[in-house]
Amino acid sequence: MRDIYNTWDLDYKSIFGAIKQFETCRFTIRLPKDIKPDYPPVLVLFRTGFKERFLNMNIINEEEDCIAYTTEYNARYSDVHYYYFSYTQHGTRHYIKKNDCHYGCIDHGDLFQLTVYSNTYETPDTFKGGIMYQIFPDRFCKSGKHHDNVPQDRIIRDDWGGTPLYKPDENGHVWNNDYFGGDFAGIQSKLPYLNELGVTCIYLNPIFESHENHRYNTADYMNADPLLGTNDEFEELCREAKKYGISIILDGVFSHTGADSIYFNKFGRYPEPGAYQSRDSKYFDWYTFINYPNVYEAWWGIDTLPNVCENNETFTEHICGDEGVLKYWLGKGAAGFRLDVADELPDQFIRNLRKAVKSFDDDKIVIGEVWEDASNKESYGIKRRYLLGKQLDSVMNYPFREAIINYVKGGSFRDFIYSVMTIMENYPKPTIDVLMNFVSTHDIERAINRLGGEDCNDKSKDWMAERYLTNEQYAYGKNLLKTAFALMYFLPGIPSMYYGDEAGLQGYKDPFNRRCYPWGNEDGELIAYVSELGRIRKSIPNLRDGGIYFYENNGSSIDDRVILFTRTGYERDYIFVVNRSRDRVQIENLSSYLHVFEQFMPFCGRYENDTITIEPYSYTIVKARYRK
């Protein structure tokens, strides 16, 4: 029996996934012959806020056990569309909606999604096929270089690798004012190391002058924090990184500033009056005061982080103008920006920001922090339009992260496939090619702790502070981490390595996931493994922008222990098999199972006698050619 509808099958939907504006997509359903509609079925399609559109379907073919109906839709508007099919039998209306991720089901299920993106939407080619490395600047590498104008109220640590301070003072406030001294010169000294890992892009957590070590409470957008170095030293870092083929992305924190800043100046650190001190301050209109000056809107109610009015004309000009923050740092060598809490930035501000970045250079990138499916995200009651061509190039791919972690920890391959393919269906191809994929970041516990250790969700910071994996937990977590890395490197998008993950650095949640890189105490075996993944990634062109096709368990020897998928390419396809288990797994009679191919050739791992062998916690890759 044929499927009624299947969004993954081109016999049902002629274009997989999102489509370009003005492209024509053909939709086909197949109804069993015992269903005899009173009149032809219809495709019902709509956009949020607009009326439904009804497209009549025509019979195109009578097959053995079903009748196929089809219609075409020319996508005139870039937007997220929703659709379903409908037919009437004996006067009763029936619906065909989505069930089990991509199948059509009669009379129950959810709406199908069709993302239509601007036909002018492109993302920077320079990032595709690359490898990103995320650095929390204070904790990566300390050069020992003297820095001028460092505020005296900072606690400068001399115990590199010590536990970050986290306990509140007598008033319940955590000041985050201890610094380990990582700096631009330290990062620059490690460029050869990053090059060996295959890194092509560094993403730096905030570098702007700030008075907490995370630097998400910006004090001055136009100056680097003095403990990191000068603006000219940042420019030198970008210039030296470029010699290795490495670009540098900055963290843009534009939804709020620090209370301790030249703009707000709550504590009087700066000579010019800020918004907190005077209604006549040129920055006063950037903020929303409820009861001046002590009650004001702040990010998540944290009074050290006053919210800004992003669409305020002078604030937008300060950030996006010709003499503004964005173009200044792009001029210093930055390759783009990751936008902190993109959900809290208004659509118009993101559009203005993108316009400013792209007017400087189309090859500069804009990445948003979005934790959910960014194609249909709703925040503060508003449907977001991040990926339609006028706002973001890419987003942080938390859905892939959860899919990888859950599968590696024992989840089903089907759940993994459905999670990945949902994003593949909903996101535009230009976005998919530059997705930021990761298993750890500065906002979540490190993957090795999540994989090998105890669940920390209900634990206190006191519990997390000095909690390290046992030797047994570390060995187990490391094996699972290697599997997670393989998936991260081989899936569509750009793998992003959080500094120290490749060296076995541990840490539960903030601030313990932000410990110092363990120079001199690295896990060399893990680093070698990651370096090999980098070399493989660079040697397979399909990993740059090729499609993906998963093989599900259809009575073969494949089971939940392994994920098997193809990355398609122009000249040949590559078959990837990743084994998350402690067992050696063999897949026999590969040619009969993957019947679309005529020949296989080993690339990495063991393939002989038409059998793939995948070692425990490892991967095997074979090259395939299509039948002639």
Annotated catalytic residue within 79, 251, 260, 340: 340
User: Look-up: residue for tokens 């392994």?
Assistant: 562
Annotated catalytic residue within 369, 433, 502, 523: 369
| Residue 227: C-alpha distances to residues 149, 191, 234 (Å) | 8, 20, 12
CB 229 within 8 A of CB 207: no
Element (H, E) at 485: helix 471-490
DSSP 308-356: --TT-HHHHHHHHSTTSHHHHHHHTT--EEEETTGGGS-HHHHHHHHHH
User: Look-up: residue for tokens 């709550």?
Assistant: 266
Which two structure tokens, joined as six digits, stand for 547?
Answer: 């499609």
Q: Provide the 3-class DSSP secondary structure of residue 364.
A: coil
Q: Which residues on neighbouring strands pair with residue 82, listed in sequence order? A: 46, 113
**Distance from C-alpha of 628 to C-alpha of 626, rounded to nearest angstrom:** 6
- Determine whether 532 is an active site residue: no
Tell me the one-letter amino acid at 528: A
**Distance from C-alpha of 469 to C-alpha of 83, rounded to nearest angstrom:** 49
**Distance from C-alpha of 190 to C-alpha of 202, rounded to nearest angstrom:** 12
- Determine whether 340 is an active site residue: yes
Closest CA to 439 of 484, 502, 409, 490: 484
Q: What is the dihedral of CA 401, 404, 410, 416, to 10 degrees?
A: 110
Q: Provide the 3-class DSSP secondary structure of residue 126.
A: helix
**Distance from C-alpha of 197 to C-alpha of 204, rounded to nearest angstrom:** 17
**Distance from C-alpha of 370 to C-alpha of 346, rounded to nearest angstrom:** 14
**Distance from C-alpha of 565 to C-alpha of 575, rounded to nearest angstrom:** 6
**Distance from C-alpha of 287 to C-alpha of 87, rounded to nearest angstrom:** 54
Which residues does the annotation mark as catalytic?
340, 369
